[in-house]
Amino acid sequence: MKTVITYGTFDLFHIGHLNLLKRAKELGDYLIVAVSSDAFNRVKGKICCIPDYERMEIVEAIKYVDKVIPENSWEQKVDDIKKYNVDVFVMGDDWRGKFDDLKKYCEVVYLPRTEGISTTQIKDELKS
């Protein structure tokens, strides 16, 4: 069984997130998604509209997703890869190169982002 993992905030869930999860699942048989906690988002300097337990529940309901875990720190990725015997680490290519150190532990894949949609864009449009 080929295990894939990806990490994200998934605030105001949108088609860019869904495309990423769909394509991540196509790279293996079992997809784990680490959803960032509100506390970790404060570390990332991100304020979420949707609380972490709701963002996790929404991601858990996506048919491509097999397991959801909390993302509480930048450093947990190596432990997660070992703990879940991960074969492939996937992120959107806005992160290209940032996680290449994980190549020691598993395959690292950066997928093209979905153009024209982002949580920030949705927030801005709601404001205007």
Hey, which residues are catalytic here?
Answer: 44, 46
Minimal distance in Å, beta carbon 13 to ligand C2G?
A: 9
The answer to whether residues 33 and 52 touch, using CB atoms and an 8 Å cutoff, is: no
DSSP secondary structure string for all residues of 38-84:
HHHHHHHT---SS-HHHHHHHHHTSTT-SEEEEE--TTHHHHHHHHT
C-beta of 120: minimal distance to ligand C2G in Å? 9
* Residues contributing to the site for ligand C2G (CB under 6 A): 7-10, 16-17, 20, 36, 71, 91-92, 94, 113-114, 117-119
Q: Which is nearer to ligand C2G, 31 or 91 (CB)?
A: 91
